[in-house]
């Protein structure tokens, strides 16, 4: 499989590192959250002009758009969880919840899950915008989360090097992948068929685990020079991308896990600092990367 990659546009305007990129309210829109506390909406049809739709008073670490309520759930560096309705600032709820940063947010059915630097996962009522229960999984930060619909389970990566597999309804621990990565697990993502769990960590390794065989390891690849921060699959499920602190994002074959393309500054006009997050849009099949360099880049991948 030959992969062609092209930089379409670089989105600038944030005044601090961009830590989160997320789907917007329309197929052609995306949202970004950054250390400046801004939530910006971008159009993939008119990428040069972003629109500030909401803001919080501190650094944004995580972001999730909720289509059913047309609202946002925002996590900040101090553990705050913000329920934001763009255009209606008077309706914003600012809840000091986790004792440290909120590193990931996930929507599952009628619930929201947040992960904190306090080592806890919290389930929230989406309708009532309040916390329902919390579980202390680790003495260290919980960094990333993924959901398997068919297996009805959550995979959670932590700074204690482990990946915890939880039953989604009860939060009971089904399995623990011990010492999955050296130092910390920063990214987890189920394959589209949910047969495999992909993970990336501070050890710069990409790993693949067999969900049907007790999460047995089937791949361990030195994929980057530094920490892998994010993993994203393309809408077809044929490719996936990894983002790293080494300033690159890389494109991989999802079938044989082979490296197909490395998008860097010198050859492709990529980022000049750590790449923190990825979102692969089904709209024209474009990949969006977010970086410490205060910008986002739209990539065309063919």
Q: What is the per-residue pLDDT across 33-67, written as a single tens digit (0 to 9) for each? A: 999 999 999 999 999 899 999 999 999 999 999 99
Task: Give per-residue pLDDT as tens, 101-145.
Answer: 999 999 999 999 999 999 999 999 999 999 999 999 999 999 999
Cα→Cα distances 153→11, 217, 226, 230, 240, Å: 35, 18, 29, 20, 21
pLDDT of 223 higher than 90: yes
The answer to whether residues 299 and 288 touch, using CB atoms and an 8 Å cutoff, is yes
**For the whole model, what pTM was predicted?**
0.96
Residue 31 CA to residue 40 CA, distance in Å, equals 6
Torsion sign (Cα): 32, 290, 46, 285: negative
């Amino acid at each position: 499989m030959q992969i062609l990659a092209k930089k379409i546009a670089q989105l600038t305007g944030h005044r601090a590192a961009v830590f989160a990129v997320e789907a917007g309210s329309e197929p052609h829109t995306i949202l970004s959250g950054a250390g400046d506390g801004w939530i910006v909406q971008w159009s993939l049809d008119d990428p040069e002009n972003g629109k500030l739709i909401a803001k919080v008073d501190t650094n944004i670490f995580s972001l999730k758009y909720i289509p059913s309520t047309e609202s946002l759930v925002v996590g900040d560096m101090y553990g705050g969880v913000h329920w934001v309705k763009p255009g209606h600032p008077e309706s914003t709820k600012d809840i000091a919840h986790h004792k440290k940063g909120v590193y990931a947010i996930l929507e599952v059915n009628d619930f929201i899950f947040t992960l904190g630097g306090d080592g806890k996962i919290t389930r929230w009522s989406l309708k009532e915008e309040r916390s329902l229960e919390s579980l202390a999984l680790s003495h260290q930060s919980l960094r990333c989360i993924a959901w398997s619909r068919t297996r009805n389970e959550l995979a959670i990566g932590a700074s204690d090097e482990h990946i915890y597999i939880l039953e989604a309804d009860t939060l009971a621990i089904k399995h623990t992948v011990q010492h999955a990565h050296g130092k910390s697990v920063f990214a987890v993502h189920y394959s589209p068929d949910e047969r495999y769990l992909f993970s990336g960590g501070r050890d710069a390794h990409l790993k693949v685990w067999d969900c049907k065989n007790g999460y047995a390891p089937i791949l361990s690849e030195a994929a980057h020079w530094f920490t892998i921060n994010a993993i994203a699959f393309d809408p077809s499920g044929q490719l996936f991308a990894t983002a790293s602190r080494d300033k690159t994002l890389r494109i991989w074959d999802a079938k044989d896990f082979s490296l197909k393309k490395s998008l860097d500054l010198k050859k492709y006009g990529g980022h000049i600092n750590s790449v923190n997050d990825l979102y692969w849009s089904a709209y024209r099949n474009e990949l969006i990367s977010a970086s410490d360099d205060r910008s986002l880049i739209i990539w065309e991948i063919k």
